[in-house]
Amino acid sequence: MNKKQAKEKIQELRKQVEYHAKKYYDDDKPEISDFEYDMLMVELRDLEKEFPEFISKDSLTQKVGGQVKEGFTKVTHEVPLQSLQDVFSMEEVREYITKIEEKAEENEIENRNYVVETKIDGLSAALEYKEGKLVRAATRGNGLVGEDVTENIKTIKTIPMQLSEQINLIVRGEVFISKNDFEKMNQEREENQEELFANSRNAAAGSLRQLDSKITAKRPLDIYIFNVQKIEGKQFNSHFEELEYLSQLGFHVNPIRISCCTMEEIEKAIKKIGEERENLSFGIDGAVVKVDDLKFREILGTTAKTPRWAVAYKYPPERKETILKEIVCQVGRTGVITPMAILEPVKVAGSTISKTTLHNEDFIKQKELKIGDTVVIQKAGDVIPEIVEVKKEKRSGNEVEFEMPKVCPVCGAEAVRLEGEAATRCTGIECPAKLYRNLVHFVSREAMNVDGLGENIIAQLLEKGLIKNIADIYTLTLEEIASLKKNGKKFAQNLIDSINKSKENDLYRLITALGIRHVGTKASKILARKYENIDNLSKAASEELSRINDIGPIVAKSIQEFFLQDQTIDLIEKLKAAGVNTKSLEEKGEDNRLEGKIFVLTGSLEKYTRGEAANIIEKLGGKTSSSVSKKTDYVLAGEEAGSKLTKAQNLGITILSEEEFEEMIR
């Protein structure tokens, strides 16, 4: 590789590393495994070593990744929280120890002991104590500046608020979530059809970096302390001594710490931790080798990013073979049908794996998966297990091709995959799997606007079996609603009144509430104005619908397919029987003076809300848009109009004051 190629490759790798570091450290949502990230860093580090003229201070090989999240107070660390140099083979560990031994001989160091500890997979934090009292806690951030998470740290039960001695002290620890707690969290999220946490490290980081400490308090966080950053009035000779002292003060220190004197002992300790890794209650991604003598540490010093007195051995991701016994499909709250692999149970990285998501139809085709295949499962650290390989050479010929279902496995409604989407969805509006989400949308403010019928009340009604479909909202009795709350009669009467009031809503609200894919409030108003009642709309063909301005062929097809469903027909009949209005209440007028004109509303109006002004424009045949473009005809600007007004002025678009708008519509 010549210099030009090396420079281009280094720049490309830096971009990749920076992107994935941001996803990992700042967003707590990694897109690749730790191992894949480490390999990118190794490639970058090796290239920079080979071509040192291209090394930059901005490279993540030279500095700690991570930034302060918006909303947190910045904390400058009195002692920097550095990261460790990673190695990936025992040969690299030997090279490191050889260099340390040479330094020890040069400086006549007698204590040549080392401590091998588990590298806990969590989020690093510094805890500061004044006269034995916890006064501040901060995340690592970029090593020099972190986030003040004092209130969040105080929710961790294993952290002492007051030490047994009145001492000034800064310690560093790793915040984590145990394997069992992590599995319970994801199990609960799966049952609630919520997005699963990718791994325990990011679950812990996301929990600690919450702006609301009440959310943090609900998460099962724990911490192990592994280092003294600063201490006043005490002196220690060794790291081992420090950890023993911290334990006596009441801290939970890293539980696995093995004292070693030789390379052979270090190698045994690393292997032992690796062998016991599956049985540990917490996740690890390596073993840390540290120089024990604290004076020798001072001699060895640090680089800008890493201490020279420690190195982290990273274990390779664990892979196991198993059998793909079956593929079943689950239906989420939004109607997405997700294929799930049922596996012959196999233990990987400390957890027994019996199932894993296959994401969608495309994933199955890309992997060329068949039911009965021998597959390779990977679970790097605590990452959610995934199928990484199919052992095609082990096929017997009895394997079976999988096809996505044509109907919903829960309710039997048609399952469709729309053009341009990876997901297959259930189209049934009464599907039990979708019912909670559909109910929440149906009663929401922009839809039927049933005040008082919030998510918690809906969940209780479903749990007690008081509603089994959307139309059941209108059959609820005062007594049934009152049973949800202690002394709930007043609440029940208010909710009954709100439910009855919603029966009188305009047709456009009902169309919005039905949750037709791609049909929002704006399209609902257009459809209500055009068809005047739900029966006319339900009979409209997609060709006819697609000719309506702002509808288009994709939305038209979605509308037609929705109204052809048996569940839709059944629901509309039930709503009619309950007395829900299915007709447009808008008076038909001949005044289309604003036809073809596009308005953008910005700033605060005195006499109208933006919604009221938009309704007036639409009744007069005009359209509203949320963004200014060359197609915009008018911008109605109120007080404190911002960037939209500036853009309109630059484009030479007519700006209307509220008075000019009133003159226009008078």
Residues belonging to the active site:
119
Residue 167 phi/psi, 5° resolution? -130, 150
Q: Are 545 and 560 in contact (CB under 8 A)?
A: yes
Tokens of 651: 């484009």
Judged by DSSP in three states, 306 sits in: coil
Query: How many of the other CB atoms lie within 10 Å of CB of 496?
Result: 17
Query: By CB neighbour count within 10 A (0-12 exposed, 13-18 middle, 19+ buried), where does 567 fall?
Result: buried
327 - beta bridge partners?
341
Evaluated on CA atoms 135, 140, 143, 145, the torsion sign reads negative
Residue 423 and residue 416: Cα distance in Å, rounded? 9
* Terminal-residue alpha carbon distance, the chain: 74
Let me know: does 603 contact 640? Beta carbons within 8 Å. Answer: yes
Give yes or no for a contact between 221 and 177, defined as CB atoms under 8 angstroms apart. yes
What whole-number distance in Å separates Cα of residue 575 and Cα of residue 88? 65
- H helix count then E strand count, the chain: 24, 22
The strand order across the sheet containing 114-120 reads: 86-87, 310-314, 284-291, 114-120, 257-260
Distance of CA 359 to the CA centre of its chain: 16
Rounded to whole angstroms, the Cα distance separating 60 from 543 reads 56
β-strands 169-176, 386-390 pairing? unpaired
User: Coil, helix or strand for 107?
Assistant: coil
Positive or negative torsion for Cα 562, 564, 565, 568: positive
Among candidate residues 357, 346, 349, the one with its CA nearest the CA of residue 381: 349
Residue 609 DSSP class? -
CA–CA gap between residue 45 and residue 51 (Å, rounded): 10
User: What SS3 state is found at 351?
Assistant: strand
d(CA 324, CA 147): 45
CA 213 vs CA 206, 379, 559: distances in Å? 12, 31, 44
